[in-house]
Structure 1
Amino acid sequence: MSVYTLRRLAHVPGSIRVIVGWDAQLATFYTQVWQVPRRDGALIRNLVAAGVRPYEIDDPATAVDLARPYVHIPEDLHERLAADRLTEDDPTEGRLRDAVVKLLAAVR
């Protein structure tokens, strides 16, 4: 699993946290945006919780776009996420998934 903690934009409150990455076990890219609890014990508020189900986000651009309103996006983040998918994926599962995707594309 890769995790990138990104720097907030100036207008985003300091209580907001953002992570983007690749989850090999769920075979999905993900974006999480949440507000940390206040000192008075208020509950965490999730603003974005994407990529929490298997195969939910197949394109790193989708995960990056979900984070864009909140954080500075490094120029190479798309490439880093794509590389994470290749290096952290189970080789057998990755080949099988790629074969299924190609087969489905050919049928359409």
Structure 2
Amino acid sequence: MSRHDLQPKADKPEVVRATVGWDRPLQTFFAQVFIRTEDEPDEGEALIWIGTEPGELPTGDAALAVVAPFVDVPANLAEELTADMRETVGIKDGLQQVAAKRSLFGSIH
């Protein structure tokens, strides 16, 4: 799994943090945006959390499009995300991952 934390835009003070990355077991990119709430002023609460289902976000560009309204996206991040994915080609699931996928999804994807 890869993870890239992004800097919120200056005009988005409600955004505590945002993250994008590649999840090899689910074969999807993911995007998360956390906003400040009264109960969670420092950690934030998930406003957006996409990429929790197999293949949900097929490209790094799709993940970046989700967070772009909230954060400054580095120019080379799409290429970094693609490289993160390519580094996992050929890696197989361990026994626990296979069991979890069968339990959650009915298959090992």
TM range (shorter): 0.7 to 0.9
- CA distance in 2: counterparts of 1:70 and 1:15, whole angstroms: 7
Question: Which runs of 5 or more structure 2 residues have no equivalent in the other structure?
Answer: 93-109
- TM-score of the superposed pair, with normalisation by structure 2: 0.73
Alpha-carbon distance in 1 for matches of 2:84, 2:40: 35
Partner SS, residue 88 of structure 1: coil
Question: CA–CA distance in 2 between the matches of 1:14 and 1:2?
Answer: 25
TM alignment of 1:14-93, pairs within 5 A: 15-36=15-36, 38=38, 41-42=39-40, 44-89=44-89, 91=90
Q: Call closer, same or farther: CA 1:11–1:56 in 2, change over 3 Å.
A: same
Q: CA deviation at 1:92?
A: 6.0
Offset at residue 36 of structure 1 (A)? 4.5
Aligned to 1:4: 4
Report the structure number with the largest CA radius of gyration.
1
Name the CA shift for 1:8/1:28 in 2 (closer, same or farther; >3 Å): same
2:28–2:54 CA contact under 8 A, matched in 1: yes
Percent identical pairs in the alignment equals: 31
CA shift, 1:37, in A, is 5.1
Q: Residue 17 of structure 1 contacts residue 36 of structure 1 at CA under 8 Å; is this kept in 2?
A: no
Q: In the comparison of the two structures, how many residue pairs are matched?
A: 90
Q: Counterpart amino acid of 1:7?
A: Q
Contact 2:29 2:57 in 1 (8 A): yes
- The answer to which structure has the higher helix fraction is 1
Give SS of 2:54's match.
coil
Residue identity matched to 2:45: R
